[in-house]
Structure 1
Amino acid sequence: MKQSRRNFLSQAGLAGIGISFAGALSACSRHNAAQTLNLYTWDTYIGKHTLPDFEKATGSKVNISLFANNDELFAKLRDGNQGYDIIVPSNDFVERLHQAGSLIDLDHAKIPNLANIDDKFLTPPFDPGRKVSVPYTWIVTGIGYRKSKVDGVPDSWKWVLDSDRYKGRIGLLAEASELFEISAKYLGLPANTADAATIARIQAMLLKQKPNVSVFHDDNGQDLLLAGDIDLVIEYNGDIAQVMREDKDLDFVVPREGGILASDSLCIPKGAPNPDLAHAFINFVLDAHNGAHISETIRYPTPNKAALALMPAEYRNNPVIFPPAAVLAHCEYSHYQGQAIQSAYEQAMTRVRAG
């Protein structure tokens, strides 16, 4: 029986240790709030033993709740922090949350393990000097696929965005900005092109492609691929690397037009009940051994040079986890371009989903 990611977390030992998925924050009342860390993150995005190890090391309790995409995370924080201590947004949403005044400045003196991070990840354009974010992973978006069901390597976005060749067997991302950025790459435009004519052109292409699409997925494309529900899916390299360990018929490719690069970060939202405990958690995660354990579990590329040095060659030399430089040269980072453009993406995506 193929396991869902929820089952993965349960089997990994994260169930039954004070962690709940629905209504996690309501559990805080049963524990001393000063000793409870409320983590809001992606599914399958933590080491099997990270949270119980942190609880043991600090005498704290960890509650975890999950979001499906950055849009959901932003919506949850739009009207104020609902009790979270740590959130894990992607780079463009770090920009967006920071501009909205939703993140606190980090105290680097409380995060000595920041020294373990590779220098190239410490001065990103979306957060120079890492004032409000600490790098957790970096990511490449591409196509996960089932080799026995696809003719050759689907090395162009065409096969998921602009063709009926795999009708009914395609999964697309539900997150508006990234899907539109990928579509712009396919059309030979910069990912962050955001003029009205380009958005309208992409909307028309996606509406035409919609009858061929099985699902617009929320961070579970690898599960659908693993289960055999679809044969091609736009997904993140780490998610596909996870399921490739279970099914050797699966693979991943960054299309020749280039993919989207991202960096997920640990941030402390404004109004966090336990900012000192949040700093302690960030420092714990950045420890070399703890970071290596997380990377071994989640299979995403790590920006932690000390953790990377502890990883086996099977991880360090894996081209799905670390695509070659020639491939990455065609990829671009997303940038937050302001609320007007974000709204235009979201409105166009709503029309696509409803059309």
Structure 2
Amino acid sequence: MKRLISFALAIIAFCALLAVGSSQLQKSQGASSSGTLTLYNWGDYIDPALLTKFQKQTGYKVQVETFDSNEAMFTKIQQGGTNYDLAVPSDYMIQKMHKAHLLVPLNYKRLHGFNHIDPHFRDQSFDPGNRYSVPYFWGTLGIIYNDQMVKASAVQHWRDLWSPKLRNNIMLVDSARDIMGMALITQGHSVNTTNVAQLEQAKLKLEGLMPNVKAVVADEIKMYMAQNEAAVAVTWSGEAAEMMANNSHLHYVVPTEGSNLWFDNLVIPKTAKHYKAIYAFLNFMLKPENAAQNAEYVGYATPNKAAKALLPKAVATDKQFYPSDSVINKLQVYADLGNRMVGIYNDKFLEFKMYHR
């Protein structure tokens, strides 16, 4: 009998431990108390001082969890079992999340300050009417060059990268949509083409660039360019800003013939629980003084027009990161092309990289 009682007590204790473990796991996966908002964000993509300020003003604490790719974020939310209140996907991913029924529409009766968002950055193709998304940051794909190695006039356009003078002196960011898109633009095609023949032409165009390509790299590109390892690189504006902060000889240009315009956006996943905290946070981040503070900390361009007016003049008028309307009007936003087409882009890019080796 004692053995039976001991066994029963052991089972009860084990179940209790499982319950505690389950509770801790839920907390690590985004579950939060009613006084806590859980933000699923890219790493180091919000000023911590703003989170402290928000808590002091509203009483809501913000728990930040991070992801390193749109796809990882999508999978985590799709799998469920999380209580993320807000997430920060990029443009095309919003389309994909909407198709998968993972988003909750915004309630504009509770949202205050959206009028501060520059009209250029509203009503984009990935979310017509901003039904689901509040623009958070934006940027471009462009060319960064070292003025000690190449003249500015020699690298203003995508076609300039094919110059024999840049032999073995270009680094490319390891991104299929971006590098294939660059080649498509040089041939007058859309970065969202689903024409396989055009994609093959773009791959062949890239193979012609091969003598100039020193490396196709990921995050290391920031270190390499800061250390003068190449004259030129193709990368994103935010990465370029970080490189320039570490090397005064680096400069960034967005080709006037067109490029990619990307957005990161605040959205409400279907897993959200704390709507009072959600709208308090969205309204807080839309305030111009807070958006400006965040832009200065992160270093990316703010879509908040009133916030931009509060930035230092040297920042707000910097055409490298706030290009003219004429340039912006030629930029293209990536669309969600579906798994099949994305696979074709990836395959063509892989063929190019294999050719490079």
**TM-score, structure 1 normalization:** 0.79
Q: 1:260-279 counterparts in 2 under 5 A?
A: 260-279=260-279
Counterpart for residue 11 of structure 2: none
Counterpart for residue 216 of structure 2: 215
Q: Larger Cα Rg: Structure 1 or Structure 2?
A: 2
- In the alignment, structure 1 residue 317 sits paired with structure 2 residue 317: yes
Counterpart for residue 54 of structure 1: 54
Query: Is the contact between residue 262 and residue 333 of structure 2 (CA under 8 Å) also seen in structure 1?
Result: yes
Q: 1:266-345 counterparts in 2 under 5 A?
A: 266-345=266-345
Distance in 1 between residues matched to 2:29 and 2:140, nearest whole Å: 39
DSSP 3-state at the match of 1:65? strand
Query: Is the contact between residue 48 and residue 294 of structure 1 (CA under 8 Å) also seen in structure 2?
Result: no
DSSP 3-state at the match of 1:112? coil
Counterpart for residue 145 of structure 2: 145
Q: Which amino acid aligns with 2:188?
A: G
Listed one character per residue, the Cα deviations across residues 53-104 of structure 1 (whole Å, up to 9, x for unaligned) are: 334433414223131x434444544544744332222222212221221211
**TM-score, structure 2 normalization:** 0.79
Q: Which amino acid aligns with 1:198?
A: Q
Query: Is the contact between residue 258 and residue 327 of structure 1 (CA under 8 Å) also seen in structure 2?
Result: yes
Distance in 2 between residues matched to 1:146 and 1:224, nearest whole Å: 12
Counterpart for residue 252 of structure 2: 252
Query: Is the contact between residue 60 and residue 277 of structure 2 (CA under 8 Å) also seen in structure 1?
Result: no
Distance in 2 between residues matched to 1:129 and 1:239, nearest whole Å: 29
Distance in 1 between residues matched to 2:35 and 2:301, nearest whole Å: 31
DSSP 3-state at the match of 2:182? helix
Counterpart for residue 66 of structure 2: 65
- Over aligned residues, Cα RMSD in angstroms? 3.1
Q: From the superposition, tell whether residues 201 and 76 of structure 1 become closer, same or farther in structure 2 (CA, over 3 Å).
A: farther
Q: From the superposition, tell whether residues 44 and 30 of structure 1 become closer, same or farther in structure 2 (CA, over 3 Å).
A: closer
Query: Is the contact between residue 30 and residue 38 of structure 2 (CA under 8 Å) also seen in structure 1?
Result: no
Q: From the superposition, tell whether residues 273 and 148 of structure 1 become closer, same or farther in structure 2 (CA, over 3 Å).
A: farther
Alpha-carbon distance, 1:182 to partner: 2.0
**Structure whose residues are more often helix by fraction:** 2
Listed one character per residue, the Cα deviations across residues 312-336 of structure 1 (whole Å, up to 9, x for unaligned) are: 2112211112112333343222222
Listed one character per residue, the Cα deviations across residues 188-219 of structure 1 (whole Å, up to 9, x for unaligned) are: 2222222111122223444564572423325x
Alpha-carbon distance, 1:260 to partner: 1.1
DSSP 3-state at the match of 2:96? helix
Higher deviation after alignment, 235-244 or 319-328: 235-244
Q: From the superposition, tell whether residues 241 and 87 of structure 1 become closer, same or farther in structure 2 (CA, over 3 Å).
A: same
Alpha-carbon distance, 1:290 to partner: 0.6
DSSP 3-state at the match of 1:268? strand
Query: Is the contact between residue 183 and residue 203 of structure 2 (CA under 8 Å) also seen in structure 1?
Result: no
Distance in 2 between residues matched to 1:301 and 1:253, nearest whole Å: 15
Listed one character per residue, the Cα deviations across residues 204-245 of structure 1 (whole Å, up to 9, x for unaligned) are: 444564572423325x64444224444422222243234434
Counterpart for residue 202 of structure 1: 202
Distance in 2 between residues matched to 1:281 and 1:210, nearest whole Å: 47
Query: Is the contact between residue 176 and residue 345 of structure 1 (CA under 8 Å) also seen in structure 2?
Result: yes
DSSP 3-state at the match of 1:202? helix
Distance in 2 between residues matched to 1:309 and 1:151, nearest whole Å: 32
Listed one character per residue, the Cα deviations across residues 264-308 of structure 1 (whole Å, up to 9, x for unaligned) are: 211122213544433332222111111010122233332212212
Q: From the superposition, tell whether residues 337 and 31 of structure 1 become closer, same or farther in structure 2 (CA, over 3 Å).
A: closer
Distance in 2 between residues matched to 1:167 and 1:76, nearest whole Å: 43
Distance in 2 between residues matched to 1:194 and 1:30, nearest whole Å: 37
Q: Which amino acid aligns with 2:216?
A: V
- In the alignment, structure 1 residue 92 sits paired with structure 2 residue 64: no
Distance in 1 between residues matched to 2:256 and 2:120, nearest whole Å: 25
Query: Is the contact between residue 55 and residue 61 of structure 2 (CA under 8 Å) also seen in structure 1?
Result: yes
DSSP 3-state at the match of 1:50? helix
Q: From the superposition, tell whether residues 148 and 105 of structure 1 become closer, same or farther in structure 2 (CA, over 3 Å).
A: same
Distance in 2 between residues matched to 1:353 and 1:77, nearest whole Å: 32
Distance in 1 between residues matched to 2:88 and 2:70, nearest whole Å: 9
Query: Aligned pairs, how many?
Result: 329
Higher deviation after alignment, 196-205 or 268-277: 268-277
Percent identity, aligned pairs only, is 28
Query: Is the contact between residue 51 and residue 62 of structure 1 (CA under 8 Å) also seen in structure 2?
Result: no
Distance in 2 between residues matched to 1:347 and 1:75, nearest whole Å: 22
Query: Is the contact between residue 42 and residue 67 of structure 2 (CA under 8 Å) also seen in structure 1?
Result: yes
Query: Is the contact between residue 256 and residue 330 of structure 1 (CA under 8 Å) also seen in structure 2?
Result: yes
Which ranges of structure 2 fall in alignment gaps of 5 or more residues? 1-24
